[in-house]
Amino acid sequence: MNKIQIPRIVSLPTVAAEVPALLDASNVAFQPIASVNWPTEYPYCPEAVFRMAWCPDGLVLHYRVNEQSVRAHYAEDGGKVWTDSCVECFVRNADDDTYYNIECNCIGTLLAASGEGRHDRVPVAPELRSAVLRWASLGNETFEERKEPTVWEIALVIPAQLFAVQPLRLEAGTVLRANFYKCGDELSVPHFLSWNPIEVSQPDFHRPEYFGELELM
């Protein structure tokens, strides 16, 4: 099981574009999203990394991706962003069954829900979802697949209020369970990468038994 320490920041930034510089200043290292769990059917492994920090008011996330093609079909929150060039964070308290999925395509379109498994997801209320600040290096206009090597970044500022159904324990010493993903279900070369390996026969990110550990410092 992968285990990492998540540093604390003083407060959440008010502008998502500030997240990369904030994490640089705090010397927060990137972590690879590089487990190719289904290599026979889906061998492609784009370069994808993430880093995270926390404070009692919420989380900040920063992803960087380098892939051979990129797509951003969905512009409205709540859409099928996992079919685009997409990064995802699934997270829960270590002793809770309810987990959150926070999925974002390469232009910052967001999907967020909670539940105990794949088939009981409850969307996060629109007013809480819209409170997530986003910055996308590719801008926020949709486009169909560009079959050219592309480096892109996403930064998210996630207020603690988003975790309303089962509040995350954002306190020093807490251990959260989580996994991070890079996917693109409808790209010309589909792929399904994870931070912590998933040992099932077919692509399935809704597997909390394979979440790694995040220790809040």
* Structure confidence at residue 171 (pLDDT): 98
Taking residues 43-59, what's their average pLDDT?
98
The per-residue pLDDT for range 135-168, each reduced to its tens digit, is: 999 999 999 999 999 999 999 999 999 999 999 9
Q: Hey, what amino acid is at 67?
A: E
Taking residues 125-136, what's their average pLDDT?
98
Q: Which of 74, 47, 48, 58 is nearest to 19 (CA)?
A: 58
* Structure confidence at residue 146 (pLDDT): 98
CA dist 183 and 211 (Å) reads 17
Torsion of CA 126, 130, 136, 142, to 10 degrees: 50
Give pTM, 2 decimals.
0.98
Percent of the chain scoring above 90 in pLDDT: 100
Domain boundaries, the chain: 3-202+209-216
If you average pLDDT over every residue of the chain, what do you get?
Answer: 98
Percent of the chain scoring above 70 in pLDDT: 100
* Structure confidence at residue 9 (pLDDT): 98
The per-residue pLDDT for range 54-104, each reduced to its tens digit, is: 999 999 999 999 999 999 999 999 999 999 999 999 999 999 999 999 999
CATH number, domain 3-202+209-216, options 2.60.40.1190, 1.20.1060.10, 3.40.50.300, 1.10.150.120: 2.60.40.1190
Residue 132's pLDDT band, with cuts at 50, 70 and 90, is very high
| DSSP type of residue 125 | P
Q: Which two tokens stand for residue 32?
A: 């690879």
Backbone CA torsion sign across 34, 159, 162, 112: negative
CA dist 63 and 158 (Å) reads 14
